[in-house]
Amino acid sequence: MTVQAAATPGAQGCGDCHGAAFAGWRASAHAAAATNPLYRAGFRVEPRRFCVDCHTSAGARAEEGIGCSSCHVDPASAPPTTTAASGHPLALRARADLRDPALCRDCHEFATPAFEGGALRMTDLPMQRTYSEWLAYRDAGGRETCQSCHMPGGDHTMRGARDVELLRGSLAVIASADARGPRLTLASVGVGHAFPSGDLFRHLTVEVRPAGDPQEDAWRVVDRMGRTFETRLDGKTLQAYKVETADTVLVPGTPRVVRLPPIRGELVWRVRYHYGSERDERRGLVPAEALFVTLATGTVGQSRRCEPRPSAGQGASPWAACPAFSRARSRRLRAELSVGSRATAALYSRSASR
Ligand code: HEC
Ligand code: HEC
Ligand code: HEC
Ligand code: HEC
Ligand code: HEC
């Protein structure tokens, strides 16, 4: 290669020659890793060097977040230089390494730290474990990689939970009723790890209210999918430590049935995705629209997202109006569901220790 060194350091410098990658990256969560409101609020409560080290690229300006060099500079090429003799600005990772999920593991899998008298010690409670969750999905027969799902055609936007359309398409909900009353069946669709994954506070709530009571405070949470933590005090050392007290995330291939209260009359339900914890929502440091989004809603017995319509014509599927349950979609769902829960059971049922 005979290209000249970038005059400007950082992502913009690479972007001068790699416009498409730069444009995608700039719209990505990676570019906003150090500036998004939820991170800033979290960092305000717990301002640790540890956070900065992972939410920004070494050597770049903090506002840049996870820049090009975090993923592209070959860590073996120490020290990284912007004027490599070969002509290209930096010694780059080989393509095969770029496509390996191990690249993503570096930041998307880590333990919960304990800070003892200022010193950082890693506990064995996973703080994020998207990579292990992906390994379980793969071991159960899943064939996609982080890159094949998150970077179709090399797209650096890396859509994830902040993309509401993708998020809504990732959850299938079927409302039904039997002798014991109304119920919802929830399953993740096309997700190669737990749902939710990523940040430890992310969770889903299933909420209901009587159809005749449209007040916002009539909603009741009847189930929660996510991880739950508690801070305890070690009686001997008097150090505070975190334990995981529940883990109810949705696992690929394992639908979850949620029983709804059998009330007289119709029940309205909704499923919400929460980006932060219940505490974040009480604290009010972050605007509501950055904290949760409604993924699906309906009335029991006639879910709005997937209500079958009488067939419009010969051969037309009654599910045609329901994207989540079109024929192709339900075939895909069945394939997903058959990715079995054998290998995943062990991982997800593990009760965390500290
Ligand atoms: C002066 C222009 C220029 C700058 C600045 C530049 N590149 Fe490149 N880059 C190129 C050219 C030209 C190629 C070769 C294109 C090809 O092989 O198709 C290339 C190739 C690449 C490739 C593909 C390598 C492969 O294995 O196929 C990557 C990844 C890359 N650059 C990343 C970066 C990063 C990250 C930066 C900033 C640190 C950067 N580039 C800065 C011009 C530039
Ligand atoms: C979070 C990791 C990550 C970040 C950040 C990142 N990239 Fe990439 N990039 C990748 C991966 C992974 C691939 C390989 C995709 C593939 O081959 O399927 C890639 C591929 C590329 C390619 C080759 C594209 C092609 O198809 O030939 C270029 C050029 C590139 N990146 C430039 C950049 C630039 C410029 C930035 C910053 C503006 C950047 N990347 C930021 C992970 C990243
Ligand atoms: C089979 C496709 C698929 C694979 C494989 C996959 N993802 Fe995802 N991922 C998704 C979809 C779809 C979403 C959006 C729904 C959601 O938020 O879970 C998502 C969401 C995420 C999120 C947002 C957190 C959240 O709320 O769930 C992160 C972070 C993430 N993926 C990282 C990764 C990493 C890292 C890997 C590899 C170790 C990976 N993904 C593998 C499809 C995939
Ligand atoms: C250098 C660390 C680092 C590497 C390497 C990295 N990520 Fe990330 N990633 C982050 C951080 C930090 C965030 C959170 C940004 C924020 O604050 O929202 C993130 C966010 C994401 C999101 C958005 C999650 C959401 O909630 O929507 C996806 C998707 C994602 N990463 C996928 C990947 C994939 C795929 C790879 C590997 C190709 C990868 N990341 C490599 C640090 C990294
Ligand atoms: C080893 C890497 C690493 C460390 C250390 C780390 N994070 Fe993160 N963080 C991530 C990744 C990867 C994500 C993306 C997962 C997701 O979007 O769900 C993320 C996501 C977040 C989010 C959610 C952002 C969003 O847009 O929804 C917050 C808030 C956050 N981190 C705060 C912190 C704070 C505060 C610290 C320090 C106490 C910290 N992180 C330490 C890697 C890290």
Quick: pLDDT tens for 73-109. Answer: 887 775 555 545 556 777 889 999 999 999 999 999 9
pLDDT tops 80 at residue 132? yes
Work out how many domains the chain is built from and give that number.
2
Say if 150 falls within a structural domain.
no
Is the CB of 147 within 6 Å of ligand 2? yes
Say if 109 falls within a structural domain.
no
The parent domain of residue 77 ranges over 11-96
CB 336 within 8 A of CB 171: no
Question: In a 3-state reduction of DSSP, which class is residue 158?
Answer: coil
Q: Which atom of ligand 3 is nearest to the CA of 137?
A: 5
Same domain, 92 and 164: no
C-alpha span between 233 and 340 (Å, rounded): 39
Say if 139 falls within a structural domain.
no
C-alpha span between 132 and 140 (Å, rounded): 12
- Final residue in a domain of this structure, among 70, 96, 122: 96
**What was the pLDDT predicted at 78?**
58
Same domain, 81 and 165: no
pLDDT tops 60 at residue 298? yes
Q: Determine what percent of the chain is predicted with pLDDT higher than 70.
A: 78
For residue 203, give both structure tokens.
């969770």
Say if 82 falls within a structural domain.
yes
pLDDT tens for 188-237 read: 999 999 999 999 999 999 999 999 888 988 999 999 999 999 988 888 87
**What was the pLDDT predicted at 79?**
56
Is the CB of 86 within 6 Å of ligand 1? no
Q: Among all ligands shown, which has an atom nearest to the Cα of 97?
A: 2
Is the CB of 11 within 6 Å of ligand 2? yes
CB 39 within 8 A of CB 280: no
C-alpha span between 127 and 77 (Å, rounded): 29
Same domain, 197 and 344: yes
Same domain, 73 and 212: no
Same domain, 174 and 256: yes
CB 318 within 8 A of CB 326: no
pLDDT tops 80 at residue 290? yes
Is the CB of 17 within 6 Å of ligand 1? yes
Same domain, 331 and 216: yes
C-alpha span between 255 and 340 (Å, rounded): 11
Please give, one letter per residue, the 3-state secondary structure of 53-113: HHHCCCCCCHHHCCCHHHHHECCCCCCCCCCCCCCCCCCECCHHHHCCCHHHHHHHEEEEE
Say if 49 falls within a structural domain.
yes
C-alpha span between 319 and 306 (Å, rounded): 7
CA 250 to chain CA mean position, Å: 12
Residue 114 — pLDDT band, cuts 50, 70, 90? confident
Give the CA dihedral 10, 11, 16, 20, nearest 10 degrees: 170
The whole model's pTM is what? 0.88
Residue 283 — pLDDT band, cuts 50, 70, 90? confident
Same domain, 164 and 268: yes
Residue 288 carries which DSSP code?
Answer: G
pLDDT tops 90 at residue 57? no
Which residue puts its alpha carbon closest to atom 3 of ligand 3?
192
Say if 133 falls within a structural domain.
no
CB 241 within 8 A of CB 114: yes
Say if 185 falls within a structural domain.
yes
Pick the residue with more confidence: 321 or 283? 283
Across the chain, how many H-helices and E-strands are there?
Answer: 13, 11
Is the CB of 145 within 6 Å of ligand 2? no
**What integer is the mean pLDDT of 34-61?**
87
Pick the residue with more confidence: 211 or 342? 211
CA of 110 to the centre of ligand 5 (A): 10
Same domain, 266 and 343: yes
CA of 270 to the centre of ligand 3 (A): 23
C-alpha span between 124 and 110 (Å, rounded): 9
**What was the pLDDT predicted at 59?**
66
Mean pLDDT for the chain overall = 81
For residue 83, give both structure tokens.
């004027």
- Final residue in a domain of this structure, among 40, 75, 96: 96
For residue 321, give both structure tokens.
């109006």
Say if 296 falls within a structural domain.
yes
Same domain, 86 and 181: no
Token pair 């640790």 in the structure block, residue: 48
Q: Which atom of ligand 1 is nearest to the CA of 13?
A: 5
Same domain, 177 and 269: yes
**What was the pLDDT predicted at 223?**
95
Report the range of poorest mean pLDDT among 94-98, 288-292, 329-333: 329-333
Same domain, 197 and 272: yes
Same domain, 165 and 91: no
- Final residue in a domain of this structure, among 73, 96, 119: 96
**What integer is the mean pLDDT of 310-332?**
42
